[in-house]
């Protein structure tokens, strides 16, 4: 199966399972990457300074182009003109204007930028914030969320569910190279650096899906290192926590696939609570509660899941998951098992 055909499957098969307690869509592009459609205090600040810079630059453009056009018309050579025009060697008023005015503009922009940085880049978590650890990998995101409805930590990948109206304090780590965490409608870009901890925050003001993107080139699949945040009400978030912290339900009908998962290389990379403890790849405990696969490269459904397990390179070239060259029976058994991880 070619990469083109797989992407055709991803685009047309929209029967993906719903994220528990979260809005779901078979469209992997559900959401918005427009910084002017902000839905969080940091994003509002960034939007306002963007409008300020855009307005000042637009005014400068109009003035400069206006003077240029006026000069072309006013001082063009006419048929009755003879010889060279009067030469001008310097002008104190003009030189003063093009020195003082740009200085004032830069000063205003610097003050506005410093104010925005102060508002966006907090040094301490906001009061009542939910602290989430984010670990960037090539090319996917790992989230560790406190379990508000029990003990321990919820570990999930690529899709983060958060409560509306509550500040989310993100502690950013990198497992390999430099990445950058960016959700345009919620926060600004923040570098994720190996052996260095960074922080960022947001507070979703409305329910919905917010798309994000790694904003620092990090290798072959940088463009497909996507992420999505789903903001829900408090009751739905608590229900999500309960579901994500629940144990995997053992289904006797897929024991063969479970055994293959354990006996093949799957368990070395992937963790399933109570089954395996791999840490190199995404946690699969509640895989089918997500809407996408491959960090947002395709909607998650039986067809794309089977294609991914069969040969991930066809769907996401360069990803670190190899093809195990499974025969059809093995492939069917493992996929059947994974489909029960809801």
Q: What is the pLDDT of residue 251?
A: 77
Q: Do 299 and 226 touch, CB atoms closer than 8 A? A: no
Q: What is the pLDDT of residue 13?
A: 40
Q: Residues 81-92: what's their mean pLDDT? A: 78
Instruction: State the number of CA atoms in the 13 A half-sphere of 238 facing the CB.
Output: 4
The torsion angles phi and psi of 229, rounded to 5 degrees, stand at -115, 130
Domain count, the chain: 3
Mind giving me the DSSP string for 76-144?
Answer: ---TT--SPPPP----HHHHHHHHHHHHHHHHHHHHHHHHHHHHHS-SSPPTTPEEEEEEEETTEEEEE
Quick one: pLDDT band at residue 205, thresholds 50, 70, 90? very high
Q: Is residue 33 part of a domain?
A: no
Q: Residues 11-35: what's their mean pLDDT? A: 50
Taking only the tens place, the pLDDT of each residue in 304-331 is 999 999 888 888 888 888 888 888 888 8
Tell which residue, 248, 160, 183, 140, has the closest CA to residue 37: 183
∠ Cα 280 284 286 (to 5°)? 155
146's CB contacts (< 8 A; 6+ apart) are 130, 131, 132, 153, 154
Greatest Cα-to-Cα distance within the chain, rounded to the nearest angstrom: 100
Q: Is residue 82 part of a domain?
A: no
Instruction: State the number of CA atoms in the 13 A half-sphere of 181 facing the CB.
Output: 30
Which domain range does residue 293 map to? 3-28+247-338
Q: What is the pLDDT of residue 187?
A: 93
Instruction: Report strand pairing: 190-192 vs 292-293.
Output: unpaired
Tokens representing 110?
């610097």
Domain boundary (240, 271, 289) is at 240
271: number of Cβ within 10 Å:
18
- Three-state DSSP state, 265: coil
Quick one: pLDDT band at residue 15, thresholds 50, 70, 90? very low
Q: What is the pLDDT of residue 147?
A: 86
Q: Residues 203-219: what's their mean pLDDT? A: 94
For residues 314 and 323, give the distance between their C-alpha atoms in angstroms, rounded to a whole number: 10
CATH assignment at residue 176: 2.60.40.420
The residue written with tokens 């069969």 in the block is 310
140 and 194 fall within a common domain: yes
Q: Do 142 and 157 touch, CB atoms closer than 8 A? A: yes
167 and 189 fall within a common domain: yes
Q: Is the pTM of this model over 0.85?
A: no
For residues 258 and 218, give the distance between their C-alpha atoms in angstroms, rounded to a whole number: 34
Cα 129 to chain center, whole Å?
Answer: 20
253 and 235 fall within a common domain: no
Tell me the CA distances in angstroms from 27 to 23, 200, 288, 297, 301, one per residue in order.
12, 28, 16, 11, 12
14 and 73 fall within a common domain: no
Tell which residue, 97, 169, 104, has the closest CA to residue 130: 169
For residues 76 and 264, give the distance between their C-alpha atoms in angstroms, rounded to a whole number: 80
For residues 198 and 213, give the distance between their C-alpha atoms in angstroms, rounded to a whole number: 17
203 and 232 fall within a common domain: yes
Q: Residues 237-255: what's their mean pLDDT? A: 84
212 and 255 fall within a common domain: no
H-type helices in the chain, by residue range? Answer: 3-12, 41-74, 92-120, 234-244, 255-263, 266-269, 302-310, 312-315, 328-338
Taking only the tens place, the pLDDT of each residue in 48-69 is 999 999 999 999 999 999 999 9
Q: Is residue 36 part of a domain?
A: no
263 and 322 fall within a common domain: yes
């Amino acid at each position: 199966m070619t990469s083109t055909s797989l992407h055709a499957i991803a685009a047309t098969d929209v029967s993906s399972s719903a994220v528990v307690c979260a809005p779901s869509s078979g469209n992997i592009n559900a959401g918005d990457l427009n910084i002017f459609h902000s839905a969080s205090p940091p994003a509002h600040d960034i939007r306002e300074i963007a409008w300020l810079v855009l307005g000042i630059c637009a005014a400068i453009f109009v003035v400069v182009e206006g003077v240029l056009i006026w000069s072309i018309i006013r001082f063009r050579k006419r048929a009755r003109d003879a010889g060279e025009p009067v030469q001008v060697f310097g002008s104190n008023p003009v030189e003063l204007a093009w020195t003082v005015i740009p200085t004032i503009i830069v000063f205003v922009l610097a003050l506005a930028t410093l104010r925005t940085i102060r508002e966006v880049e907090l040094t301490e978590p906001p009061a009542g914030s939910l602290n989430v650890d984010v670990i960037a990998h090539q090319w996917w995101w790992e989230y560790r969320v406190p379990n508000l409805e029990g003990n321990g930590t919820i570990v999930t990948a690529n899709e983060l569910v958060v409560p509306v109206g509550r500040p989310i304090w993100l502690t950013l780590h990198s497992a390999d190279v430099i990445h950058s965490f960016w959700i345009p409608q919620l926060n600004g870009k923040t570098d994720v650096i190996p052996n260095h901890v960074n922080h960022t925050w947001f507070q979703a003001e409305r329910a919905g899906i917010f798309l994000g993107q790694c904003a620092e080139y990090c290798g072959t699949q940088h463009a497909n290192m996507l992420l999505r945040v789903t903001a829900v009400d408090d009751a739905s978030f608590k229900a999500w926590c309960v579901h994500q912290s629940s144990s995997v339900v053992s289904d006797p009908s897929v024991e063969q696939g479970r055994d293959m998962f354990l006996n093949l290389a799957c368990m070395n990379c992937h963790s399933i609570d109570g089954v395996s403890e791999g840490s190199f790849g995404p946690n699969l405990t509640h895989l089918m509660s997500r809407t996408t696969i491959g960090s947002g490269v395709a909607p998650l459904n039986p067809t794309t899941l089977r294609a991914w397990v069969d040969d991930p390179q066809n769907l996401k070239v360069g990803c670190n998951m190899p093809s195990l060259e499974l025969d059809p029976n093995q492939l069917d058994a493992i996929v059947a098992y994974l489909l029960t991880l809801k």
